[in-house]
């Protein structure tokens, strides 16, 4: 009995340390999303890192993502559902270590929500189609909008405008 209890506690510790919460504890789907999946379904689609950021509102470490220093022409789509979210036309070098855009690809591609976590007042940016967490928007961006959409590379996939011919 004692051995079994120890094993149970051990696996609970492992789960919380591992941070991969594919156990359906939390329902992150929001009303109004066009694409609604359970945590279990997202878990099967996304990598653990994508799941942590897109569905659990995590943040990738600055200067580690694949798109912060990426300058090809094309579209940045949602890594979870494939909807076009941002364009290389609106991308700029913010120096923050995260891909930054001064506006979404189209009005309505993303939605915003107040985020008071970590003792800060920030505005969270979410995919309007599937509700996945993308990053935050700040008001210290360049003209013409003055906005800086600070997005996790992990939340994005890139579709080049001029695919390289084989």
Query: Among all residues, which ones are annotated catalytic?
Result: 150
Per CB under 5 A, 46 contacts Zn ion: no
Segment contacting Zn ion (CB under 5 A): 67-75, 102-110, 119-127, 152-160?
119-127
Per CB under 5 A, 21 contacts Zn ion: no
Closest-CA residue to 137 (of 119, 123, 156): 123
- In this structure, the number of other CB atoms found within 10 A of the CB of residue 161 comes to 11
**79-108: contacts with Zn ion (CB under 5 A):** 80-81
Shortest separation between residue 16's beta carbon and Zn ion, angstroms: 27
Output 84 or 142, the one with its CB closest to Zn ion.
Answer: 84
Sheet containing 74-78: which strands, arranged edge to edge? Answer: 84-87, 74-78, 156-160
HSE (CB half, 13 Å, CA atoms) of 127?
A: 30
Shortest separation between residue 10's beta carbon and Zn ion, angstroms: 36
Shortest separation between residue 72's beta carbon and Zn ion, angstroms: 21
Q: What is the CA radius of gyration of the chain?
A: 18
- Interaction mask 128-147, Zn ion, x per CB under 5 A: -xx-x---------------
Residues 6+ apart with CB under 8 A from 38: 24, 27, 29
Per CB under 5 A, 78 contacts Zn ion: yes
Per CB under 5 A, 127 contacts Zn ion: yes
């Amino acid at each position: 009995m004692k051995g079994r209890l120890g094993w149970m506690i051990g696996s609970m510790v492992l789960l919380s340390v591992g941070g991969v919460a594919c156990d359906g504890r939390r329902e992150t789907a929001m009303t109004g999303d066009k694409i609604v999946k359970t945590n279990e379904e997202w878990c099967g689609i996304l990598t653990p890192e994508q799941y942590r950021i897109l569905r659990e509102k995590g943040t990738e470490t600055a200067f580690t993502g694949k798109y912060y220093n990426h300058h090809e022409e094309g579209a940045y789509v949602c890594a979870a559902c494939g909807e076009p979210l941002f364009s290389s036309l609106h991308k700029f070098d913010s120096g923050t270590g995260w891909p930054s855009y001064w506006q979404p690809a189209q009005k309505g591609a993303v939605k915003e929500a107040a985020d008071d976590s970590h003792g800060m007042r920030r505005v969270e940016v979410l995919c309007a189609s599937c509700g996945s967490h993308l990053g935050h928007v700040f008001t210290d961006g360049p003209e013409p909008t003055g906005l800086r959409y600070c997005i996790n590379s992990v939340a994005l996939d890139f579709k080049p405008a001029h695919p390289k011919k084989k």
